[in-house]
Structure 1
Amino acid sequence: MARLTNHLIVVSFDCLSALDFPVLKELPHFKEFLARGSYCTQVKSIYPSVTYPCHTSIITGNYPKRHGIVNNTLIQPGRTSPDWYWHRKHIKGTTLYDEAKKAGMKTAALLWPVTARANIDYHMPEIFANRSWHHQIPVSLFNGSMLYQLDMNRRFGHLRNGLNQPELDDFVLESAVHTIKMKKPELMLIHLVDLDSQRHYHGFSSNEAMDAIRRHDVRLGRIVDALKESGIYDQSTLIALGDHSALDESKAVKLNVLLQKNGLIQVNEKGLVTHWKAYCKSCDGSAYIYLNEPSDSNTKEVVGKLLQNLLQDESNGIEKVYSQEEAASMGADDKCAFMVEARLGFYIKENLDGAFIDPISKRDVREKRYTFASHGYSPEKDNYKTIFMAAGNGIRQNTVVPSMNLVDEGPTFARLLGLNLGETDGRVIEELIIDFEK
């Protein structure tokens, strides 16, 4: 298979929505980028549409059921801060960066989800210090390229303010620019989270979110400049994409409160889970319901009735209840007992305490207990598409793809690099590609 580009740079602007396109096309660097490339503003995400499953679908071409990253976080009932699917070992099958390495390509990844301990040459993984005795920098160092990360922290660490935004993206950007100039990777994956953070804590159309989009425009310009200054601009393909959109919310649904009330979760005097028969695992706009014993048909029947009863009253915040088989057919985890979709204006939390429905206050958001906007909803929701934009080697100019799926991106990237991800759920977006062999 012919290789169509020498350098593929993929920039994920987390939470970039199709609704942002009218703004993007008027910003100077996005405008210039779009003028020399092609795009799709109707990219259908996956279910659940949360960051870690989305980014794994992007680089595998498969849905969560198949690649194994079915949520952001692991099932750890009662933990206030569950561990995330940080590590490459959780992914089933191959990835774009695995195939690039097999082909002898130089690879780089900056905060790309689910890459901890991956075989990537210049690697700063997204992984958090999730224990009181952990420190962020050592945790990152031991799960990525140690010498590379030490160099980036020495050069640009002064820009960081913990995990806070926009400082974290500023640090990632400077690291990316330096890496492009000095290392000239053949595959580079960059994950920027500024917009996602602002939408969570200020709302979808907030001034803070719009400011983040303008900062992203400057960041895109800096990456283009780095490609030019490194001398590889004419040999490169640049991708700018979103992984999911977001929807505003004003109430949180706590299904575990209902399950506990019905004797399906037991807690001790400190509120810690001691035993559970059924548990709600949040994906924000949706949730999985798992059984401790998957073969426990009596518990499954009880839970099914409780969930169906919630559908009788819209104020309960539940729009749909999917069976295990229905969830699997949409690409979600086939090991759940049920999957639940929240109504507009609601999202789902794992909390075990308090009322079943919590109104969200500014104080709650300020203290980061709740958010004003979330994702994780069904990709079938209205006004919930994301964006894909591409320019450079192997990409046609001025082509508008009417619609595509998030899982189509990985196979398309593989085609540009002359690689093969094998049989995937997605397809190569042939209408975007210039293949001189045809």
Structure 2
Amino acid sequence: MSRLTNHLIVISFDCLSALDFPLLQEIPHFQELLQKGSYCKNVETIYPSVTYPCHATIVTGNFPNKHGVINNTFIQPGNPSPDWYWLRRHIKGTTLYDEAKKAGMTTAALLWPVTAKAKIDYNMPEIFANRPWHNQIAVSFMNGTPIYQLDMNRRFGHIRKGLNQPELDDFVLESTVQTIKTKKPNLLLVHFTDLDTQRHYHGFSSDEAIAAIHRHDKRLGRITQALKETGIYEDSTIIALGDHSALDESKAIKLNVKLRENGLINVNSRGQVTDWKAYCKSCDGSAYIYMKDEKDIATKETVKTLISNLLKDPENGIETVLSGEEAQAIGADGTAAFMVEAQLGYYFKEQLDGNYIDNITVEDVRAKKYTFASHGYSPKKENYSTVLMAVGKGIRQNVIIPAMHLVDEGPTFARLLGIDLGETDGKVIHDFLNV
């Protein structure tokens, strides 16, 4: 299979929404991309529409139930900071970067989710120091490419302020520009989270979110300029995409409070979980409900009755409930007993105490207890699409794709690089490609 490009640069602007499209058409660097390239402003995301499953889908072309990254974090009942699906081994099957490397291409990834310990030539994985005795820089070095990361930190580490935004994305940008100029990778994956952060803590249409989109425009411009200065722009393809949208919320649902009241979760005097029969695992706008023992029919019936009763009143915040089989059929985790979807204005949290429903206050959000907007909702929610824009070598000009799915992105990117992801849930969007 012939390669259509020599350098594929995939830039994920986390939480970029189809609703942002009118603004993207007005600001200079996105505008230039749209005028010279092709796009789809109706990309359906996956379920649950959270960051790690989305990014695993983008590089595999598969739904979460196939690639195995079914949520951001693991089921660790009662843990206020569960571990994330950080590691490459959490993805089942092959990926875009695996196949590129097998084909002899140079690969690079900056804060791309689920790439810790991946075989990527220049890898700065997204992974957090999640234990009191962990050091952030040491954890990153151990799970990525040490010398490369040391060089980027030596050059640009002064820009960062921990994990705070926009400084983190500014650090990633400078590292991306340096990587383009010195490494000229054939595949470059970059993940920016500034917009996602601002939407979480200030709201979907907040001034802070709009300012983040303008910063992203400048970042896109800097990356484009770096390709030109390095002399590889004409041999490059730039993909700018979102992974999901977001929706504002004002109420938090704590379903575990109800499960605990029904004797399905036990805690000690310090509030720690000592045992459980059923547990609500949040995906923000949706949630899985797991049984500790899948054969425990009595507990499953208790939970089913509980949810059915909650569904009767919209004030309880639950819009729909799916069985595990129904969740499996749409690409989510079929090992869950149930999957529940939140009403507009609500999202799920895993806390075990307090009220079943909490009204979200400014003080809560400042304390990072809750957020003002989130994702994880069903892709069928109205005004919840994301976008994909492409320009450069191998891309046709001025083609508008009316609709596509997130699973289609990986196979399409693989075709640009002349590689194959094998059997995928998604398909190549040939209308994008200048074959």
The equivalences for 1:379-394 within 5 A come to: 379-394=379-394
Aligned-residue offset at 1:297 = 1.0
Q: Distance in 2 between matches of 1:298 and 1:64?
A: 29
Q: Could you say which residue in structure 2 is the equivalent of 1:313?
A: 313
Q: Distance in 1 between matches of 2:153 and 2:263?
A: 50
The equivalences for 1:288-299 within 5 A come to: 288-299=288-299
Q: Could you say which residue in structure 2 is the equivalent of 1:153?
A: 153
Q: Which runs of 4+ in 1 moved over 6 A?
A: none
The equivalences for 1:62-211 within 5 A come to: 62-211=62-211
Q: Could you say which residue in structure 2 is the equivalent of 1:45?
A: 45
Q: 2:43 aligns to what SS in structure 1?
A: strand
The equivalences for 1:189-338 within 5 A come to: 189-338=189-338
Q: Distance in 2 between matches of 1:352 and 1:296?
A: 22
Q: Distance in 2 between matches of 1:100 and 1:417?
A: 7
Alignment deviations for residues 57-90 of structure 1 (CA, whole Å, 9 cap, x no partner): 0000000000000000000000000000000011
Q: Could you say which residue in structure 2 is the equivalent of 1:348?
A: 348
Q: Distance in 1 between matches of 2:278 and 2:75?
A: 12
Q: 2:3 aligns to what SS in structure 1?
A: coil
User: Is residue 378 from structure 1 mapped to residue 381 from structure 2 by the alignment?
Assistant: no
Contiguous gaps of at least 5 residues in structure 2: none
Q: 2:143 aligns to what SS in structure 1?
A: coil
Alignment deviations for residues 258-277 of structure 1 (CA, whole Å, 9 cap, x no partner): 00000000000000000000
Q: 2:266 aligns to what SS in structure 1?
A: strand
Aligned-residue offset at 1:347 = 0.2
Q: Could you say which residue in structure 2 is the equivalent of 1:339?
A: 339
Q: 2:387 aligns to what SS in structure 1?
A: strand
Q: 1:303 aligns to what SS in structure 2?
A: helix
Aligned AA (1:351):
Q
Alignment deviations for residues 310-351 of structure 1 (CA, whole Å, 9 cap, x no partner): 110000000000001110011000110000000000000000
Q: Could you say which residue in structure 2 is the equivalent of 1:395?
A: 395
Q: 1:32 aligns to what SS in structure 2?
A: helix
Aligned AA (2:197):
S
Aligned-residue offset at 1:357 = 0.1
- In the alignment of these two chains, the number of paired residues is 435
Q: Distance in 2 between matches of 1:3 and 1:295?
A: 50
Q: Distance in 1 between matches of 2:166 and 2:8?
A: 25
Q: Determine what percentage of the aligned residue pairs are the same residue.
A: 71
Aligned AA (2:129):
A
Alignment deviations for residues 181-213 of structure 1 (CA, whole Å, 9 cap, x no partner): 110000000000000000000000000000000
Aligned AA (1:100):
A
Q: Distance in 1 between matches of 2:415 and 2:33?
A: 21
With normalisation by structure 2, the TM-score equals 1.00
The equivalences for 1:354-373 within 5 A come to: 354-373=354-373
Aligned-residue offset at 1:382 = 0.1
Q: Distance in 2 between matches of 1:256 and 1:330?
A: 25
Q: Could you say which residue in structure 2 is the equivalent of 1:26?
A: 26
Q: 1:152 aligns to what SS in structure 2?
A: helix
Aligned-residue offset at 1:125 = 0.2
Q: 1:217 aligns to what SS in structure 2?
A: helix
Q: Distance in 2 between matches of 1:387 and 1:380?
A: 15
Q: Distance in 2 between matches of 1:295 and 1:180?
A: 53
Aligned AA (1:286):
S
Q: Could you say which residue in structure 1 is the equivalent of 2:429?
A: 429
Q: Distance in 2 between matches of 1:17 and 1:113?
A: 19
Q: 2:130 aligns to what SS in structure 1?
A: coil
Aligned AA (2:9):
I
Q: Distance in 2 between matches of 1:292 and 1:269?
A: 22
Aligned-residue offset at 1:365 = 0.2
With normalisation by structure 1, the TM-score equals 0.99
Q: 2:112 aligns to what SS in structure 1?
A: coil
Q: 1:142 aligns to what SS in structure 2?
A: helix
Q: 2:189 aligns to what SS in structure 1?
A: strand
Q: Distance in 2 between matches of 1:104 and 1:366?
A: 47
Aligned AA (1:219):
R
Q: Distance in 1 between matches of 2:160 and 2:62?
A: 34
Q: Distance in 2 between matches of 1:353 and 1:232?
A: 56
CA RMSD of aligned residues (A): 0.4
Aligned AA (2:322):
Y
Aligned AA (1:61):
G
Q: Distance in 2 between matches of 1:294 and 1:26?
A: 52
User: Is residue 11 from structure 1 mapped to residue 43 from structure 2 by the alignment?
Assistant: no
Contiguous gaps of at least 5 residues in structure 1: none
Q: Distance in 2 between matches of 1:219 and 1:256?
A: 41
Q: Distance in 1 between matches of 2:58 and 2:90?
A: 15
Q: 1:419 aligns to what SS in structure 2?
A: coil
Q: Distance in 2 between matches of 1:33 and 1:386?
A: 17
Aligned-residue offset at 1:295 = 1.3
Aligned-residue offset at 1:148 = 0.2
